[in-house]
Amino acid sequence: MIFPAGGPKEAAAVWLGLGSNMGDRLENLRRAAFALALHPEVDVRRGSRVYETEYVGPGRQAPYLNACLEVRTALEPLVLLAVLKGLEERCGRRPGGHMLPRPIDLDILLWRDRSCSRDQLRIPHPRAAERAFVMLPLAELAGQEIFPDSGETIAAACAKIRRKSAEGVCLAREEAGRELHLLPGGGHTSEPTKEEWRAALAVHCR
């Protein structure tokens, strides 16, 4: 199904991927999540646990931290994409940095039962099902959702990638051994502290 044109839009469930391998990686992820929560047309619902991922690609890079967010929004897909790209830029990511180290990487992974295929945006994300660092956190939040292009559930696709190539991806933990979550309250949207909101606001308005 292609996104319909015209008429009022109801808020849709959308899942976003987040990644960082520069600077304070966890702080980068959380600031991006809180900045999205401050957007008047983005309702942040849940966040996954945080995963640490060994870089795979040309050259050498530091490991990434990866996570997923579930949001609700009535924004058009290309408008949401522009919001994400603007946030990346405010967080210090330079344009044209594909396959280079980055303080933040934000992707639209899944938009409930809809699909989109345009030059600048494809939904579902065309390589999501091939990447363990995407599928593991996504399955935490959307395991029973279905890839509209394949008809396969997120959980089933995750199980396949886990068997094939989940090496190099593991849960990130604090020094005390506690699992890291993207959002406060064990991954749920409990009220952030004033300090966390100030940090998010500083990124959002920079």
Active-site pick, 90, 93, 94, 122: 93
The question of whether 119 is a catalytic residue gets the answer: no
The question of whether 173 is a catalytic residue gets the answer: no
Active-site pick, 31, 102, 113, 162: 102
Q: What contacts 147, CB < 8 A, 6 or more positions away?
A: 110, 124, 129, 153, 154, 157
Active-site pick, 25, 30, 49, 107: 107
The question of whether 131 is a catalytic residue gets the answer: no
Active-site pick, 30, 31, 105, 131: 105
CA torsion, points 101, 104, 144, 78, in degrees to nearest 10? -110
SS3 content of the chain, % helix, strand, coil (to 5): 30, 25, 45
Answer yes or no: are the C-beta atoms of 15 and 69 closer than 8 Å.
yes
Other Cβ atoms within 10 Å of 94 Cβ, number: 10
HSE at residue 85, side-chain half, CA atoms within 13 A, is 12
Give the active site residues.
93, 102, 105, 107
